[in-house]
Amino acid sequence: MQIKDYLNEILDVLSANPFVESQNLAFEERSRNAAFITGVIIFTNSAKLHFKEFVVFKSEGVNILKVWL
């Protein structure tokens, strides 16, 4: 899996979720195999989820090193 595939997977899941009203994601590629993703997801009940995620892609899969909520 590539970094852009991982981001597209996140966007697909959010767009298919009926409880997500809107999302605002920022994606920063740190190297060829690492990325920092931040964002805010607003749900239909007006709840907001702020998150930050640092991921590293290795041949054996994706390693999520840190998630802040």
- 54: Cα within 13 Å, side-chain hemisphere: 5
Total residues belonging to the chain: 69
* Residue 46 region by backbone torsions, left for phi larger than 0, else alpha for psi between -120 and 50, else beta: left
Residue matched to tokens 């239909």? 44
Identify the pLDDT of residue 2: 76
Whole-prediction pTM: 0.75
Each residue's pLDDT tens digit, 25-62: 999 988 888 889 999 999 999 999 999 988 888 776 65
